Structure 1
Amino acid sequence: MQLTCDIVISGGGIAGLTAAAAFGSAGFHVICVDPTPPVTDGTAQGADLRSTAMLQPARTVLEHAGLWDTLAPHAAALQVMRIIDAGGEMPEPRVTREFNAGEISDLPFGWNFPNWLLRREMVARLEALENVDFRAGVGTKSLFTREGSAKVTLSDGTRVIAKLVIAADGRSSPMRDAAGIGVKTRRYGQKAIVFAVTHPVPHENVSTEVHRTGGPFTLVPLPDRDGQPCSAVVWMDDGPAATARMQMDVDSFEAAASERSAEHFGPLTLVTKRQIWPIITQHAERLNAERVALIAEAAHVMPPIGAQGLNMSLNDIATLLDLAQARPEDLGDAQMLEAYHKARYKDILMRVRGIDLLNRASQASAPLARDARAAGLNALYGAAPVRKMLMQMGLGVR
C-alpha cells in the first residue's frame, strides 16, 4: 500500500503527539507512527510515571494544538522555584533560595502534568482531527529522500510519500540515523529514579530542588491525591546507588527518600511504582537533512534540571510550525529546514551546555566544591537583575 501526506512524524511520545496535534490543527495532513502504543492509564503496566512541567511558552503551543482546554483542569501550577543546598555532612538545608514567577509575570512559571495523562488527552485530540492518522504499534523501517519529497517505509509494509519527515523518535532515533546525522553524547554515570509521593506539608505550588552530592532531588507539585498534598519526584544519583535503591522495600525507600529530601515536606509516602532512567547529555550535530527535521530527544537530551527538556521540544515544534505556515507550498524544502536549524541550534547548544554545567556542579563531592556550589547559589539569588534574567532564560523568553 502507498499513501501520500504532508508530514510523517516518527515517534508518538509526548513531543510527537504534540507535533501531530499542532500541525494537524494548522490544516496539514499528518501521519504519526510509533511502534509502542501509548499507555494512557496511570495504573496500567508500562505507564510513564514521570511528570512534565510545561513552562509559560508551552501554553501557547498547546492552545494552538487544541490541547490546553482539556489539560488545564489537571494542571498543578508552578508559582515558585525553590532551590535548597543541603550539601553539608548531614542532609540538612544550608542555603534556601526562591525564585517567584510574580517577579516577571502575572502567570506561574508553568504547570505540571503526569506524563500518562498528557498522552491520554493528546491521543483523544488526534482522534478528533480528521487530517491526522495516528498509527500506534507501527514504526518506521526505512527512509529515502530526494529534493522534492521523502519516502518512508513503515514496519507494516506501508510506503508513505511526504514533503517533510519529523523525527521525534527519541535519543536513539532511527530516522536521525537514516538521515545520516551524528550525535555528541556525554555520560555521567548517573541514573534517575522517578516516582510520586504524598506528604503532610502542602507544596503550595512550589517546585523544590534539594542539592547534595550525586545530583538533585526534585519535588514538583501535582494535584492532591486522596486528599493529601502530592508531588512528582526525580531523584538523581550515581548509578550504583540509584540501582540499589530500586531494590529497597517500600518502607526503607520511603525513609531514604524522606531523609534525602531534608524532610522539607515531612515524611514521604510512595504512591506509585518506581522507575529508573539513565542520565545523559546528547545533541545532534545538525537539526536537518534533506526533507528531515529533528525535534525533541532526537535533537537534544539533557539531565532533568530546570524543566528544560520537553519545553525545548515544544520550542522546536513552534519554530517548525511557524516556518511551515509562512510558506506552506514549500513545506520541507531545503530553505525551510536550513532556517529551522539556524533558528534553534544556538539556543539548544546554550541550554545543553548550561544544564551540563549545573549537573556536574551537583555531582561535586569535595567539601570545597560543595561550599562553592552553595556560595554560587547565594550570589545568583542576591543580584536582582541576574536573578530576573535567569528566570526569563529558564522560561525561554530571552
Structure 2
Amino acid sequence: MDHDIIVSGGGIAGLTASAAFAKAGFDVLCVDPSPAITSHDAKGADLRSTAFLQPARQLLIDSGLWDRLAPHAASLQVMRIIDAGGDDHTARMSKEFDASDISEQPFGWNLPNWLLRREMAAHLETLPNVTYRTGIGAKTLFTRTGEARVGLSDGSRAKARLVIAADGRASPMRAAAGIEVKTTRYGQKALAFAVTHDVPHDNVSTEIHRTGGPFTLVPLPDFEGKPSSAIVWMEEGPKAKALAALSDADFEVAMNQRSCAVLGHLQLASQRTIWPIISQHAEHLSGERIALIAEAAHVLPPIGAQGLNMSLGDIRALLDLATARPSELGDRVMLDAYHRARINDIRMRVAGVAMLNKTSMLSARPLRDARAAGLNALYSFAPLRKSIMQMGLGAKG
C-alpha cells in the first residue's frame, strides 16, 4: 500500500486533516490542484478569514498546529449583532453576546485564510509521514473492499486504505464515488476583503443585518500599525457584482455607508474577491473507502462561523474512529459509523444557518421590523441567549 490515507484538497480543512492523521501515526498523502498561495497580495489569494471556535482549538493543539497559529490570531470575545433595516443606513438596534457569560475563554480566534494555509503548509513540511504535493489533484477513484486507487492529474496513481475528500463544493472525489448532493441557491454573492479602521475592534465581531444579507466585520491582528478587520459583505448577486466593479475609492464610500460607522472610517487593506452563496450537503458522508469532510460534505452561508468549525467536527469524528480501530482504517464499519456520527448535526446546522440567511435577506418593512423585534426578544431572555451561544459553539441542543 502506498499510503494509509490520501487527502484530496489542500485548503484549511485538508491541511488540518493531514496534520491530525499524521500526528496520530498514519502515513498521509495530501494533494491540491491549486498552487500554494501564502501572501495576502498575491493573485488568487483567499482573502476570507476563518474563526476557530472554542471546541476547534483542541483539535489544532492535538494536531501540532496551534503553536504556529496562536501568534497570528485575534480573539473573538464579543459577538455583536446590529439591525440596520430601517429607511436609512443607521444602526437601529445593537445587541452584544459576551463569551464571559458562558466561558472563561473567548468564543474563538480569527485568522486570514491565506496566512492559515502558509502556516499549515509549513507545518506539514516538518512531518516525516506526510507527503504534500501542490499543483496536482485527485481526478479518478477506483475502490475495492480493501483499498482505494486514486488517479492524479499528473498521470500517476496512488493507493490508500482511506480517501478523505476535502476538495470543495464541486468535489471530484465525491462525484467519482457517485454521492449525490442537495443544493440551495439564494441568488447572493459575498465580497471578501480586509480593512483598517480608526476605532479599535476590541475583539468584537459584528454582523450588521440589512436587506441582501449581513455585513460582517471580524477582528484581525493590527495591519501596518492600524486596527484591522476582515469583512464578508453579502448582497443579492447583481448588486454584489456591481460593487465588485467599483473603483477602490467608490467602493470605500459604499462600504463605509454599509458599515454604520461602527469602527469609524474604513480603508481597504487588500484586494477584493467575490464568492457565490449556497447551502449544500451530501446525501451520504461516506462510500467505499472514502469519507467526505468540509465543503465536500456541507456548504453554508458565512453566518455564525459555522462552516469551518463543522469541518473540524468532521475531522475529529473521523480521527476518533480511525484511532479506535487503526488496523481497520477505512473499512465499511468505520465509515458507516462516521456517517451516523455527523449527518444529523450537519443537516440541523445547514437548515439553521439557511433560515438565518433568509431572515437576513428580508426586504419588506413589516418583516424587517419583525426581524429586529425577534433579535430584541432573543437577547432579552437570558437563558435562551446563553443556550443560543452554546449551540453556536457546537454544543448539542
* TM-score (norm. length: structure 1): 0.98
State which of 97, 119, 123 in structure 2 corresponds to 1:99: 97
The answer as to whether partners of 2:139 and 2:151 remain within 8 angstroms in 1 is: yes
Q: In 2, distance between residues paired with 1:219 and 1:156? A: 41
* 3-state DSSP of counterpart to 1:28: coil
Gaps of at least 5 residues in structure 1 are none
State which of 11, 14, 33 in structure 1 corresponds to 2:12: 14
The amino acid across from 1:50 in the alignment is R
* 3-state DSSP of counterpart to 2:146: coil
Q: In 1, distance between residues paired with 2:224 and 2:135? A: 34
Matches within 5 A, 1:251-290: 251-290=249-288
State which of 316, 319, 333 in structure 1 corresponds to 2:317: 319
* 3-state DSSP of counterpart to 1:52: strand
Q: CA deviation at 1:397?
A: 2.3
Match of 1:363 in 2: 361
The answer as to whether partners of 2:192 and 2:273 remain within 8 angstroms in 1 is: yes
* 3-state DSSP of counterpart to 2:5: strand
Q: In 2, distance between residues paired with 1:294 and 1:50? A: 23
Q: In 2, distance between residues paired with 1:293 and 1:339? A: 11
Match of 1:28 in 2: 26
Match of 2:129 in 1: 131
Match of 1:386 in 2: 384
* 3-state DSSP of counterpart to 1:99: strand
Match of 1:115 in 2: 113
Match of 1:150 in 2: 148
* 3-state DSSP of counterpart to 2:125: helix
Match of 1:170 in 2: 168
Q: In 2, distance between residues paired with 1:253 and 1:106? A: 39
RMSD after superposition? 0.8
The amino acid across from 1:237 in the alignment is E
The amino acid across from 1:121 in the alignment is E
The amino acid across from 2:327 in the alignment is E
The answer as to whether partners of 2:8 and 2:14 remain within 8 angstroms in 1 is: yes
Q: In 1, distance between residues paired with 2:151 and 2:223? A: 44
Q: CA deviation at 1:157?
A: 2.1
Q: 1:47-67, CA deviations, whole angstroms, 9 ceiling, x for partnerless residues?
A: 111110011111111111110
Q: In 2, distance between residues paired with 1:381 and 1:21? A: 39
The amino acid across from 1:258 in the alignment is N
The answer as to whether partners of 1:52 and 1:115 remain within 8 angstroms in 2 is: yes
Q: In 2, distance between residues paired with 1:34 and 1:273? A: 23
Q: In 2, distance between residues paired with 1:99 and 1:160? A: 48
Q: In 1, distance between residues paired with 2:203 and 2:275? A: 26
Q: In 1, distance between residues paired with 2:285 and 2:57? A: 24
* TM-score (norm. length: structure 2): 0.99
Q: In 1, distance between residues paired with 2:154 and 2:224? A: 43
The amino acid across from 1:4 in the alignment is D
Q: 1:369-393, CA deviations, whole angstroms, 9 ceiling, x for partnerless residues?
A: 1011001101111111111111111
The answer as to whether partners of 1:215 and 1:237 remain within 8 angstroms in 2 is: yes
Q: 1:85-141, CA deviations, whole angstroms, 9 ceiling, x for partnerless residues?
A: 010000111111111000111100000001111001111111001100011111112
The answer as to whether partners of 1:13 and 1:38 remain within 8 angstroms in 2 is: no
The answer as to whether partners of 2:41 and 2:271 remain within 8 angstroms in 1 is: no
Q: In 2, distance between residues paired with 1:341 and 1:188? A: 27
The answer as to whether partners of 2:78 and 2:203 remain within 8 angstroms in 1 is: yes
Q: In 1, distance between residues paired with 2:136 and 2:46? A: 19
Q: In 1, distance between residues paired with 2:152 and 2:82? A: 48
Q: In 2, distance between residues paired with 1:294 and 1:19? A: 12
Q: In 2, distance between residues paired with 1:228 and 1:192? A: 25
Match of 1:69 in 2: 67
Q: In 2, distance between residues paired with 1:139 and 1:197? A: 33
Q: 1:122-169, CA deviations, whole angstroms, 9 ceiling, x for partnerless residues?
A: 111110011000111111121011111111111122221111000000
State which of 206, 209, 221 in structure 1 corresponds to 2:207: 209
Q: 1:178-214, CA deviations, whole angstroms, 9 ceiling, x for partnerless residues?
A: 1010000000110000011111111100000000000
* 3-state DSSP of counterpart to 1:128: coil
Q: CA deviation at 1:35?
A: 0.9
The answer as to whether partners of 1:200 and 1:265 remain within 8 angstroms in 2 is: yes
The amino acid across from 1:223 in the alignment is P
Gaps of at least 5 residues in structure 2 are none
Q: CA deviation at 1:250?
A: 1.3
The answer as to whether partners of 2:180 and 2:282 remain within 8 angstroms in 1 is: yes
State which of 234, 241, 257 in structure 2 corresponds to 1:243: 241
* 3-state DSSP of counterpart to 2:104: coil
Q: In 2, distance between residues paired with 1:42 and 1:23? A: 28
